[in-house]
Structure 1
Amino acid sequence: MHRRLWTLALAAALASPAAFSADKPNLTGTWNLNVQKSEFGPSPGPDKFVRKIEHKDPELKMTTIQAFQGQERTNDVVYTIDGTEHTVKSGQAEAQITATWKGNVLEVKSVRNVQGNEIVAVETWTLAEDGKTLSTVSHIKAPMGELDLKFLFEKE
């Protein structure tokens, strides 16, 4: 009876997603936003949006270059993908970031306090099987309501 129980337990463990987890995707590269395939909610899309990523798990360094109405802005951040909360400075503001793998999808949660208001964003990053498309879906909760955004980046 014990042998049968162990056999069933082993079979269940091997069938779990964790047992078959493939290597996590490497997100390194220069990623350009495809504005036509992205969704910006009520806002117009940016003139330029580029993410330059250096990814050596558990560290992900990213330089973001955005231009909107003639104003270009560059921002550098470093995420630690280990499920622990850490502080990231973005411009003049700080955010509490928790980055973790959910299977082969990277989930980045950020909590910011802007003028006394808490803004929580949960962003999921999914790399296409061919490695040429990175999609991010963001769900943002703020005092004025909730918003969903979808960005499709193509590798340079």
Structure 2
Amino acid sequence: MSNSRVANTEIASNKIVSAAKSDKKHIKRFYKTQCYSAGFLGDDVCYLLKDDTEQIIASVLVSFASSTPFLHGLVVASHYQHRGIANRLLQHCRAHHQHLICFAVTRLKALYLQNGFRQLNTADIDAKLLARYKAYQAKQVTLAIYGAS
């Protein structure tokens, strides 16, 4: 069996778990090592996938600071990308949260559409998320809004 097939089998056997409060420092470190700026917004749920050595290899946050749960911080460690992990995290979030809104660069459109999201307009989100979207869009012009119900 090839090394990539072994690695894929090991990943597939790992469960997505809800992060404990004690994981917060490790989650922040994971985002930093992946060169991603993600922060907790207050009332958040974080889902993780760890490897066999208990190192975080993927994470996603769902925040409840708005009327609709906001999915953000979907990051898969670079050496684990293109193995279906992002799909697993999105499907897990969809199974646990009836409605979700997220912002993502347009090059990830296919990922979100494949996982039951649809592209939305600014008129489809509440004022709090709209303000956040505009702030993000000032830094990332190719940002789109996606929603799942």
TM-score, with structure 2 as normaliser: 0.28
Greater helix content: 2
Greater strand content: 1
TM-score, with structure 1 as normaliser: 0.27
